[in-house]
Structure 1
């Protein structure tokens, strides 16, 4: 699990879970490229990582942004050794209150964005490279109000199953890391005024008795991305304290 001199691209790497993943990679010697939509967050992330890090503003739901991103990466490094397709979003809306705009936002980021991120990165990836896509336990247990979000994460599982066949023999691995609830600001913001109560309920569902911490997800991603997992391909690894297993 060492990434010395590896070129690692983390989408949505300027805050929250993405930043924790980027920090884990940086601590293991990676040359980082992070993306995000907000310039100020990207600047703060670069300052905090303390590693050779390049920030490129990009919206993964915009194919032209992704084309520009990969053109810049190719000019800078000529390759990608590890891609972490982390950029994603969620909104709570129960059946009857789902809007077309919300549906499109979530699918465009979580499914379209991941699809064209992976497709755009592949030409820069050689044998031994690795892709880790960030899913969610919502793919199998979305809970009330998270049907659309959960559907996007279930779609990622189906995509990975097909993609490993599409690129069979390339030597590039694709795996899915699906966290349970993680202690991030984005989770608290999504839960709004009910955050404390819901987090307590989620903690009780975990066989470990708490929700996850961002750095724990970062380590799990690093494992799947590393040569330590060289014979692991096409899996969905749940990192949720055992909640999805009982």
Structure 2
């Protein structure tokens, strides 16, 4: 028995890392999954590995017109949305004195505006009792050097999750936030050069910052997303759920 048989899900930022793992988990669980991402070739390769019910729709979540096109594809297939995962995000590490207006706009455009547009454009397609899942970050709860703008953008996502949980409750729609800690993804690896570290040293430092003394796996985040997408979490909304190895909890 596949728990998401007959369900339809949208996962943004699904070309790699956490988004790809969530989309794969949903597809394995029987859902038809629409994947978005800006890198067309990488997105299509990711979808190809998930089977016929994984549909890649190249798009940029910071552009309203792109998300309109995503919804048109879903609507043309005669589908509504049971699950929306606003995962697309990026970080561009810089200290206060080095932050540029362009960096600020880019990070907030994808992380915060992108999450808002994803959920907003999905509203007409959301079923009763749908599940909306937003991705935040443990940097919201720590003062991490060079991650101030990124953390602020994710703090805004967490705040929006609370408001949307209240606003959408009359429709039976639940909104929850997943807050990953250090997860082994290409995005994390990309920070090594910016911080002047080797990937191995960065992983070691991040692992040492957790109670479990290791990096997390994207599949561990996907397991929580699958729970929040399903009926077992039917009385959970507006909450923040940590997958951080105890990084900010212990």
Describe the SS at the equivalent of 1:224: helix
1:11 Cα deviation from its structure 2 partner: 0.5
- The offset of 1:70, in angstroms, is 0.9
Mapped to 1, the partners of 2:81 and 2:143 lie a distance apart of: 33
Deviates more, 1:68-77 or 1:93-102: 68-77
Aligned to 2:231: 227
CA RMSD in angstroms, aligned pairs only = 1.2
Aligned length: 246
Superposed, 1:84-233 pairs within 5 Å as 84-192=85-193, 193-194=196-197, 195-233=199-237
- Name stretches of at least 5 consecutive residues in structure 2 with no aligned partner: none
* TM-score w.r.t. length of structure 2: 0.95
Q: Out of 174-183 and 192-201, give the one that drifted further.
A: 192-201
- Give distance in 1, aligned partners of 2:233 and 2:38: 31
Say which SS state the counterpart of residue 132 (structure 2) adopts.
strand
Q: Distance in 2 between matches of 1:4 and 1:77?
A: 16
Structure 1 distance, partners of 2:167, 2:31, is: 28
- 1:103-127: CA deviation from partner (whole Å, max 9, x where unpaired): 0000000000100110111110121
Deviation at 1:142, TM superposition (A): 4.5
1:236 maps to which of 209, 220, 240: 240
* 1:68, distance to aligned residue in structure 2 (A): 1.3
Provide Cα deviations, 1:172-217, integer angstroms capped at 9, x if missing partner.
Answer: 1000001001101111012225132222111112111101011111
Range 43-52 or range 85-94, more displaced: 43-52
SS in 1 for 2:178: strand
> Mean Cα displacement is larger for which, 95-104 or 1-10?
1-10
CA distance in 1, matches of 2:67, 2:47: 20
Q: Distance in 2 between matches of 1:233 and 1:122?
A: 17
Distance 1:39 1:95 in 2: 33
